[in-house]
Amino acid sequence: MNKKKKLYSIILLGAALLSSCGKSSSIDSNPTTPSITGGDNSNSSVDRYLVSFNEVIDCSIQLDHSDNKYKEGELVSIVLGISNESKEFDRFECDDASIEINSSTSNRIEASFIMPKKNVVIDVIMKDKDLDSFRIKELKNYSTYDASLKEGDKFKVGDSVELIFSGSYFSSSDVSNTYIQINDEYYHPSLVDSINGSATSMSLSFVMPNKDISIIISTGNNQISNKGFKVSLDENEYVDLIAYNPEEKYIRFYGGLVRKIGYKVTSVQYKIGADGQWTDNYSLFDISNICNLYILNITADVEIKVIGEFTGVRTITYINEDAIIPTTSSLYYEGTEGDTYSVSFKPHPKYTLTGKPTFEGVEVNDDDVTDTYFKLTIGLSDITITFPAKINNKITVLDNHDLDSYIIKKDNIETDCCASLATFNFYPTMKRGKVITAARTIDSNGTKGNWCYPSDDSYGVQSIEMKMPKSGDCQIEINSDDGFTIDIDKIDHGSMTINRDTFRKNDRVYFTIQTESNFYRFNKLIDSETGETIETTMNENSGYFTMPEKSLKLKAIIVEVEKADVNLIGDLDKLESIDIQGNKSLTRMNKDKILGTFIVGEYITILPVTLKSQYQDDYIVTVKKIVNGKEEEIKSEYGSYSFSVEEGLTDIVVSVEEKAQVKSFKATINKPDGVNLTFKVNFKSVTSLDDTLIPGDDGKARLEIFVNEYAKPSDYNVQVLDNENNEVVAVSGVTSVAYMIYSDITINITAK
């Protein structure tokens, strides 16, 4: 640190200056003189040491003691506010203490350190902000999907930014029901490399604007239609709609509301149409601040209103938080009066829980708290939750010059402590040329356990399963030996990885091959010094072999697969769209991309989309493949076509034939006033016979008539006449009556 800089010791001189500081929580806008606020200002006789800052420019500073003096071991809290918009915080420099950043935003830094037994001098290092870059200042993900971006990510203006979703299998319905709001714009993602309409990821690409952005991600189960209606939320300060786009029109809305913390919502209502009745649709918010909102059968514009009040934010503080791992929910640190909050948890391997959680600031029923669960309702006070716990016995590893490093895990959680008799896994990393042969525990009395031996998982990760002694701390003693090494030679068209470089004779050596594209495949593994082929067992791109009694220099031989260059030809102009994709190459073809390369042996799926009328396909699609000059038709299954790529495949031919247009039969209806008729045509319910009586292959349409909801009315006669005035004889069942219609008809309903 440069000790020649001007020193600001921040000692408050004079009563006027002292009274001006008080306990204000605001950040002083003075760019050079830090303001010190709040805290315990005890005049204890215990030695107290001074915190001071070298010259501070472009920011202001708060400490939590008004005289800047702290006892040894006391926590010092720093709040730094940035007053120059062209600057951003870089770091603290301090030779006297280790300063930890607790939180950071674009203009506010919160940090802390433990006071040593001496005065502390701190430099605040600022840097010029990259004015061509902007950040994601907020990202709220209300979906269950993993998102590739996070708060704080920075991009330059004009950069193409890709937001990728993973963690599920996605279909087209997931696309339409995933909503992404970037500032005031709304988007849906797209499937990535879909096969048969599904994919393992979705993505959205957008251009970074010249400002910071907020991203909100949510999912619903809405039904959208051009014939739908607008859904709107009355202006309020309590909640926002999610899984929602104000530009879309809805027939059904299965979205949600997200509530601002500190606002207690007492009513959520909606009405359909200006003259509609207000309907209560309120289900209680919990501490997650999400409430589902279901509105069915939307027949007019929907208005939503919310009633509530600000009751204040309640803080939740945890003591011994590190002692537990939540299993069904995250821990929350803020809540609103009336929120329900429940968490299931288990002890961290480092700790043993010595009792049930205890609570301050809230009453909890005895039935709602166990040693692995609690449930509470937030009231008027802040809450402190204590997890009674003790640290388990310590695990250390005795020095061994062959051991490079190690990790200890219990239930796949890294730890250096475990409970008595608990089983844990020891993951050693040995130095090159050395292998671990066994390990054993030694208890605090020096009693040695049995030797335990290493094993590899299917990825080649080596570990030793061990058990803690009955009492006391645990030491691990290891045995090691010389081993045979493996080096990997340069590989064309790909790469090879193994998890360690030294093995014993007869060890299984697990490896993974990554080819540079799907048009290459692993062929064999050789010793590049002798040319000898090494026998391997493979499962796609992963495999293993048995280590010989010598060191190896390995080379993976990667070769091109057999390929077929394929043209898409035919009546493409008669198709609305066509999508062709290979399941291994992932090659895609469409109306704009009519040449593709596929892997021999993979399956191709073809999805043609024709122009359709409301009730029937107007076209017949035929798909053929040409292999070595021979044409063969591909049969359709549910509108798609699939076949295996053969050597010699050159063309996919799509022909589209227009069907002869068949007009629907017309119906003339005569009935008394007040009689309500409904129908089923070809077993489907309809409210009108306009354009529905379409003949099938037999030239007839099946019609059922219901008079005031009855198929066999007791008070009315039903008569159906054909276009020559002949009566159509009904086929009568137990509860239904069906007419087979083969021409225009007249329906006469008369009272008995």
What is the residue extent of each domain of the chain? Answer: 7-128, 132-219, 220-310, 313-391, 393-482, 484-560, 563-658, 667-751
The mean predicted confidence, pLDDT, of the chain is 87
Alpha-carbon span 391 to 254, nearest angstrom: 47
pTM over 0.85: no
- What is the torsional sign of CA 712, 714, 715, 721? positive
Q: 128 Cβ partners below 8 Å, 6+ apart?
A: 86, 87, 88
Alpha-carbon span 350 to 341, nearest angstrom: 26
Q: Are strands 677-681 and 649-658 parallel, antiparallel or unpaired?
A: unpaired
Q: How large is the average pLDDT for residues 579-596?
A: 90
pLDDT at 15: 30
* Fold exhibited by the domain 393-482: Immunoglobulin-like (2.60.40)
269 secondary structure, DSSP code:
E
636 neighbors 624 (Cβ within 8 angstroms) = no
Q: Are strands 508-515 and 223-229 parallel, antiparallel or unpaired?
A: unpaired
Nearest CA among 553, 507, 557, 506 for reference residue 530: 553
φ/ψ of residue 594, rounded to 5: -105, 10
Alpha-carbon span 179 to 256, nearest angstrom: 12
Q: 406 Cβ partners below 8 Å, 6+ apart?
A: 397, 426, 427, 428, 429
pLDDT bucket at 195, cuts 50 / 70 / 90: low
Alpha-carbon span 106 to 135, nearest angstrom: 9
DSSP secondary structure string, 592-621?
S--EEEEETT-EEEEEEEE-B-SSSBSEEE
Fold match between domain 393-482 and domain 563-658: yes
Nearest CA among 474, 463, 514, 516 for reference residue 493: 516
Nearest CA among 248, 255, 266 for reference residue 290: 255
499 neighbors 460 (Cβ within 8 angstroms) = yes
- CA distances (Å), origin 303, targets 232, 234, 484: 5, 7, 74
φ/ψ of residue 238, rounded to 5: -95, -50
Q: What is the pLDDT of residues 627-653, one digit of tens each?
A: 999 999 999 887 789 999 999 999 999
Q: What is the pLDDT of residues 24-47, one digit of tens each?
A: 333 333 333 333 333 344 444 578
Q: Which of 361-365, 575-579, 613-617, 735-739 has the highest mean pLDDT?
A: 361-365
φ/ψ of residue 430, rounded to 5: -90, 160
Instruction: Examine the pLDDT at 250 and tell me if it is beyond 70.
Output: yes
Q: How large is the average pLDDT for residues 194-211?
A: 84
Instruction: Examine the pLDDT at 330 and tell me if it is beyond 90.
Output: no
Alpha-carbon span 740 to 735, nearest angstrom: 17
Percent of the chain at pLDDT exceeding 90: 62
Burial of 596 (0-12, 13-18, 19+ CB in 10 A): buried
Q: How large is the average pLDDT for residues 381-393?
A: 96
Q: What is the pLDDT of residues 218-238, one digit of tens each?
A: 999 998 888 889 999 999 988
Instruction: Supply the CATH classification number for the domain 484-560.
Output: 2.60.40
Q: What is the pLDDT of residues 118-150, one digit of tens each?
A: 999 999 999 887 667 888 999 999 998 999 999
> Does domain 563-658 bear CATH number 3.30.70?
no
pLDDT at 31: 33
Q: How large is the average pLDDT for residues 662-684?
A: 88
Exposure on the CB side of residue 461, measured as CA atoms within 13 A = 9
Least confident of 342-346, 446-450, 697-701: 697-701
Nearest CA among 738, 746, 665, 723 for reference residue 699: 665
Alpha-carbon span 425 to 428, nearest angstrom: 10
Longest CA–CA span in the chain (Å) reads 116
Torsion of CA 193, 172, 652, 516, to 10 degrees: 0
